[in-house]
Chains A and B, each alone.
Chain A
Amino acid sequence: MSDAITGPQGGSPLLPEADDLYHPHSWWTRYVFSQDAKVIAIQYAGTALAIGFVALILSWLIRLQLGFPGLATFIGPAEYYQLITMHGMIMVVYLLTAVFLGGFGNYLIPLMLGARDMVFPYLNMLSYWIYLLAVLVLVASFFAPGGPTGAGWTLYPPQAILAGTPGQEWGIVLMLVSLILFIAGFTMGGVNYVVTVLQARAPGMTLMRMPLTVWGIFTATVLALLAFPALLVGAVMMLLDRLLGTSFFMPAIIEAGQRLRYGGGSPILFQHLFWFFGHPEVYIVALPAFGIVSDLISTHARKNIFGYRMMVWAIVAIGVLSFVVWAHHMYVSGMNPYFGFFFATTTLIIAIPTAIKVYNWVLTLWRGDIHLTVPMLFAIAFIVTFLNGGLTGLFLGNVVVDVPLSDTMFVVAHFHMVMGVAPILVIFGGLYHWYPKVTGRMLDARLGQVHFWITFLGAYAIFFPMHYLGLLGVPRRYYETAGLGFVPPSAETLNAFISLVAFVVGAAQIVFLFNLLHSLRHGAPAGGNPWRATTLEWQTPETPPSHGNWGPALPIVYRWPYDYSVPGAPEDFVPQNQPAPIRAGAVP
């Protein structure tokens, strides 16, 4: 039997030959309305990073107000609420979700699985353009009368749509429409990712030979397909409450002495819907990060991943458990104490598979040939940061500890560590790692080191003290704390320090942006496999991979993706598509 599948006899109808692919005919269809997953990935990541930079600037303004109240006269209470709302929603949905699934997912799923493209390329293209439309609608709310919504990123009714909340007229409507568009666009992409993983893998690529990056993205996509409908339902219902005057979430309200037309609605119902989406969302972001970090650590420590099977099972277990913990975000909303006990228990159980992953990463590093490359630095930084954020999650998962800490800066510090800083570190690590494949050039390592150390140490200087502020009782979402008897003056000094560091960390991202753009032309040529990695994306005949990825013949997979430092091998790694035995008699 031939090793390469070159004809219809040996191939699968789901693994089209290069000739069967849709081929772009013009510059527009090649680079703009492209159906190639690699181009769509760059479009997704570029748009997400662009809107992410907007959110970064918003965070600067938030910190300006918190650290130096009154200095920025253009920030009043209304503007402050708008800043925190837009910062939160952009970062969680429009940056993190889009980068991990739309960016890394589109680029890596076909390449890591040995496919020529996604199974439904046209749908994939549509997915990106609807995402872009969602981003534009969101950005439009900055320019709408009354500005964007200031309801907080959780958009809790009834206040989200009542007069007095900033952006009550247009902002909230545009936000909800944007979310609905985002979900519609994501669903198209999500169906694509799942079907591609299930049906378009190269010959020999069994599920248990898939890199953990693909496992993470695949499971996260399944979660997203099941979680986003809850946000969609909530968004549509709130939109109707706002526009048609229905009362899904709106109770009877008297405003300025007059009874509003609302009555009988349940704000708690929205919270259930929001968090039924909101908690899996944490893992929609975290699972791809888990997968990517596993691959980075294994590659840059030149060691097979420790406990591959456990890692796969843990990803699946975390995915399942993430659907039965949502109400731990609602302890202070009032609930039956037995429910609190149930949700606290399920929350703490998630710590088990998560801890397995952390142990396995550490054991992979143990006695590895660790190369402290920039991607590796970010990967190691992720482990400690995720561990830190996870440990404070254990605090907040317990009802009795959560109640006094709820709505304090402790919560802000916790979720920024666990699902802000930690995934962002992985995104950076992933970008430094795969940039050479995407562009054919290396990112500048010295600039990368500068970027890493400022970001990593800076993030700790920002968020570690924030835990302390929370323990002091400094509330979150307060425009200013001056004059509050229960907040000591030292908290304000600490806030000023945090703000100064935040400005520096934000500025360090400009170094990254410069590196990203400068290296496009001036980076050192990368070659096909600069990290000497085993996975298929590094084995393409061309770098950057051309349309169709694999030239005339699809790759065939002979081994798992973590054959590093194999005894007797001519090099210290064996690519997944290498058929020859490493040494005579050594391979079954």
Chain B
Amino acid sequence: MSLVLAYLAVLGAFAARWLAQQHLADRPWLTVGSPHPLVAPAAITAPTRLGLGIFLASAGLLFSLLVAAYAMRVPGTALVPLDPRLLWLTTFLLAGASLALHGAHAAARRGREEQATAALGFASAAGLGFLGGQAFAWQALWQAGLVQGPDAAVAFFCLITALHGLHILAGLVALAWITARAALLPRPPRLEPGTALCTLYWDALLAVWLVLFGLLFRTPWSGLIDALCRPG
């Protein structure tokens, strides 16, 4: 559970930093009158971005718990009987989707909507490719009869990648939604807010995937993840 506690500690640090700015030591019974200037509490972050951030924090804990459960249940030497090159390919596809989204966001910010739409299309294709690769891996494990057995590494691989894949699928729906609106509506809304949210979402899912990939397979950063998940 050390990774979970570390994750909670990071969230706690953010919360503590925020709380420290909220004047919690004020004596509200002594101050009467409007704070100046007479406006609502400063909204630095757009509500949709804040909402997405809160959702991602919650989803991040979900994956941290899965990683902790993996570390408790699966021996460090266990490996999933899959060719890691397939997973490297899907990893590159996911990273490509994330990069394309950054491109789309940059183009949308400069008002180049067509360029942004093309980048969104590329990101969607890369995301679909990622899911296709994962599905191929699941099928290989299913056909080998490994999913239904007591092999914990395989079961965790399927569970973790399926939950991650569901989040990717939701991201693809969001991408399709903003792309379709841009393409079909007679007076389409600006792409910039939507691409900003998608970029944040996909970056977070890429980060989660890199941790999961390092946990499930031998990668250059697996040692770091092992050190976090299996202290001692």
Contact = CB atoms under 8 A, between A and B. Distances in A.
Contact of A247 (B19, B25, B69, B155): B155
A248 B28 contact: no
A559 B148 contact: no
Given A202-B40, A206-B41, A272-B1, A233 B65 contact: yes
A14 B47 contact: yes
Contact of B150 (A190, A237, A263, A560): A263
Contacts of B73: 248, 265-266, 269
B230 to A, nearest CB: 15
B61 interface: yes
A246 B159 CA distance: 10
A269 B69 contact: yes
A39 interface: no
A225 B60 CA distance: 11
Given A119-B51, A247-B150, A12 B39 contact: yes
Interface residues of B, number: 51
Interface string B43-74: 10101001100110111011001100100110
Interface string A91-120: 000000000000000000000000000011
Interface in B10-46: 11-12, 15, 19, 22-35, 38-41, 43, 45
A10 interface: yes
A237 B34 contact: no
Contact of A233 (B30, B41, B62, B155): B62
A204 B55 contact: no
Interface string A438-462: 0000000000000000000000000
Contacts of B47: 14, 119-120, 195, 199-200
Contacts of A273: 65, 69
Contact of A560 (B4, B11, B15, B29): B29
A204 B40 CA distance: 7
A192 B51 contact: yes
A13 B26 contact: no
A1 B24 contact: no
B29 A304 contact: yes
B24 A264 contact: no
A562 B29 contact: yes
B88 to A, nearest CB: 26
A233 B64 CA distance: 10
A261 interface: yes
B57 A225 contact: yes
Contact of A588 (B22, B31, B41): B31
A254 interface: no
Contacts of B118: none
A229 B150 contact: no
A195 B51 contact: yes
B63 to A, nearest CB: 9
A230 B22 CA distance: 30
A244 interface: yes
A276 interface: yes
Nearest to A320: B12
Contact of A11 (B25, B40, B150): B40
A276 B45 CA distance: 31
B150 A201 contact: no
A248 B66 CA distance: 11
Contact of A309 (B24, B43, B58): B24
Contact of A209 (B28, B38, B62, B159): B28
B152 interface: yes
A266 B155 contact: no
A246 B22 CA distance: 48
B8 interface: yes
Contacts of A202: 40
A240 B27 contact: no
Nearest to B34: A204
A584 to B, nearest CB: 13
B34 A229 contact: no
B148 A245 contact: yes
B120 interface: no
B232 interface: no
A362 interface: no
Contact of B28 (A201, A208, A232): A208
Interface string A549-566: 000000011111011000
B227 interface: no
A240 B162 CA distance: 12
Contacts of A144: none
Interface string A1-41: 10001000011111100000000000000000000000000
Interface string A182-218: 0000010011101100111111111111000000000
A587 B22 contact: no
Given A10-B39, A187-B58, A588 B66 contact: no
B18 to A, nearest CB: 9
Nearest to A249: B73
Contacts of B159: 236-237, 240, 246, 248
B149 interface: yes
Interface string A254-268: 000000011111100
Nearest to B69: A269
A588 B33 contact: yes
Contact of B54 (A14, A206, A225, A245): A225
B150 A265 contact: yes
B82 interface: no
B135 to A, nearest CB: 16
Given A207-B22, A236-B159, A244-B148, A1 B28 contact: no
B140 interface: no
Contacts of B26: 206, 208, 309
B147 interface: yes
A191 B28 CA distance: 27
B24 A313 contact: yes
Contacts of A45: none
A267 B26 CA distance: 48
Contacts of B155: 240, 246-248
A265 B29 contact: no
Given A269-B73, A579-B34, 6 more contacts: A195-B51, A198-B50, A204-B35, A222-B15, A264-B152, A276-B65
17 contacts: A5-B38, A11-B39, A14-B43, A204-B34, A205-B41, A206-B26, A206-B41, A207-B23, A208-B26, A228-B58, A229-B59, A237-B159, A246-B150, A248-B73, A261-B150, A269-B72, A587-B32
Interface of B: 1, 4, 8, 11-12, 15, 19, 22-35, 38-41, 43, 45, 47, 50-51, 54-55, 57-59, 61-62, 65-66, 69, 72-73, 147-150, 152, 155-156, 159, 163
The 8 nearest A-B residue pairs measured at CB = A12-B40, A560-B28, A229-B62, A263-B150, A246-B155, A247-B150, A225-B58, A208-B28
